[in-house]
Amino acid sequence: MKVILIGFMGSGKSTIAEVLSEQLAIEHHDLDLLIENRSGLKIPEYFDQFGEAKFREFEHQTLIDALEMDGIVSTGGGTPVQDANFALLLDHPTPTVFLNASDDTVIKRLVSDGIQSRPLFQQLGEEGLLDLKHSRQNRYEQLADITIDVNDKTPDKIVAEIIEKLNQGTNKERAY
């Protein structure tokens, strides 16, 4: 494992992981895709059939397995909020990169992606979603070895910043 990416939905975790994976020539493991492949269901379908609590249990087990894989892990937006996941990520030796997006950036990206692919956006609406984002912010910050502001930046620029900061080292003493 080289890097763990965290951040709220719409912060660009999957996109950045793909670009970072190419530039570092290592594998990328998207936690949501691992969950979908293992469950045989898309995330919205899993939520509909089993609810958020069951999803979070399944997500935790998948996270444990993903952290054993080599490469980059991009988490779901709610992954670090769960106490068991938070403890797991906090104790893991891999550097954790927080992709920090403004409210405007998140809403713009989610609307562009289509809200039907985001069950929490459908359920909470814009105001509720931003309240959720604000409630999660502290957890993201607590886990972050590196924080990257993603607003108004291209994926290549964000990845260059991540690599530069990784090369400077983190409190987990990793350099790449």
Q: Write b or e for each residue in 18-31: b if 16 or more Cβ atoms lie within 10 A of its Cβ, otherwise e.
A: bbbbeebeeebbbb
Segment holding 134, helix H or strand E: helix 119-143
- Domains, the chain, ranges and CATH? 3-168 (3.40.50.300)
Structure token pair of residue 30: 């998207």
Report the DSSP pairing between strands 3-6 and 72-74.
Answer: parallel
Confidence tier at 175 by pLDDT (50, 70, 90): very low
- Specify the pTM: 0.88
Among 76-90, 103-117, 153-167, the range scoring the smallest mean pLDDT is 103-117
Amino acid 140: pLDDT: 96
Confidence tier at 52 by pLDDT (50, 70, 90): confident
Amino acid 27: pLDDT: 96
Strand order in the sheet with 96-100: 28-30, 72-74, 3-6, 96-100, 146-149
